[in-house]
Amino acid sequence: MTKKQKAAEISAILEGLYPETPIPLHFHNHYTLLVAVLLSAQCTDERVNNVTPDLFAKADNPADMVKLDVEEIREIIHPCGLAPAKSKNINRLSEILIEKYNGEVPDNFTDLEALPGVGHKTASVVMSQGFGHPAFPVDTHIHRLAQRWGLTNGKSVEQTERDLKALFPRATWNKLHLQIIFYGREYCPARGHDEQKCMICSKYGKKEISKKVK
């Protein structure tokens, strides 16, 4: 079986399990999505969703956010971790959005990744989930699963992203990355993973990688 064939079969399994893929982070415009994704770094989506209502009640746009002191932002987002850096980044990127983009979030990778605290993965989420542009956000979880399933030998998330984009049709990327995340949480966790009870790993998994990451 080629990797392309394996990818197609895995995609069919995921589509059967998750025909609908609600976006895990709560947001109501491009700006609140950008901030929520920035906050999700090294933090669970659930915790971010518990924090953002208080933050967005005070400021759900760049103009209102820059009116808040960095210390006030930091206090609100503290449960998300890395609050000193994240609060400064939220403040500064809000200033830049006002100065350069008339308060709007840019819809291209170059401008997004130039914003403070916005890396390629964050930009990919905003591009795919916010603007609907084809993108394949790869975090450490998707990287781990792609290795387990023998879809990549990449040593970095960047290489894994390139490999997955080559294996799956472009039109599926935006939905597929969420399906992989959902499957990982439900059936293929990093710890306590039973390969024989995982319908993908039991058929396609690379056992030596599966054991290594447990």
List of residues 6+ apart from 109 with CB closer than 8 A: 120, 123, 124, 127
Exactly one of 45, 88, 139, 206 is catalytic; name it: 139
Question: Which residue type occupies 192?
Answer: G
CA distance 36 to 75: 16
4 is catalytic: no
What string of DSSP letters covers 109-169? HHHHHTSTT--HHHHHHIIIIIS--------HHHHHHHHHTTS---SSHHHHHHHHHHHS-
139 is catalytic: yes
213, 144 contact by CB (below 8 A): yes
CA distance 4 to 114: 34
Other beta carbons less than 10 A from residue 28's beta carbon: 9
Known catalytic residues are 121, 139
